[in-house]
Structure 1
Amino acid sequence: MKLNYLRKKKNQQLKIELLGLLKEQFNLRIKKVSGKLNQSHLLNLVRKNIARIKTILKESEILKKC
């Protein structure tokens, strides 16, 4: 995901997106343990997207306080 795309979204939309990514990460971990995950790079992509969204949410929280 691109940062510009994420920054245009509202906090509520980002939180919904975050929940979806966390569920996807959980499902990918389950597939990895069971040996059915062929594309292991997807775990890294999801983890990085989660971090991006959390960073944007934190930035907006800090800006609201100022």
Structure 2
Amino acid sequence: MKAAEIRELSLDELKDKISVAQEELNKLELTHAVAELENPIQLRAKRRDIARLKTDLRRRELAAQ
């Protein structure tokens, strides 16, 4: 997910995306622990997506203050 796409999301959509992405990451990590993932780079990409989402959420929180 690109930063421009993230900025277009509403606050509720952003929070929903974060929770969904964290659930997906947990599932990927569990799958990776049991058996090899076909593409382990997915883990890195998902962590980075979550970081982008959380960064934008924090930016909005600071701007609101």
Q: What does 1:51-62 correspond to in 2, within 5 Å?
A: 51-62=51-62
Q: Deviations over 1:5-56 (max 9, x none)?
A: 0001111000000011000000000110011411100000000000000000
- The 3-state SS of whatever aligns with 1:39 is coil
Report the counterpart of residue 4 of structure 2 in structure 1. 4
Report the counterpart of residue 17 of structure 2 in structure 1. 17
Q: Which runs of 4+ in 1 moved over 2 A?
A: none
Structure 2 regions of 5+ residues with no counterpart? Answer: none
Report the counterpart of residue 27 of structure 1 in structure 2. 27
| Percent identical residues | 26
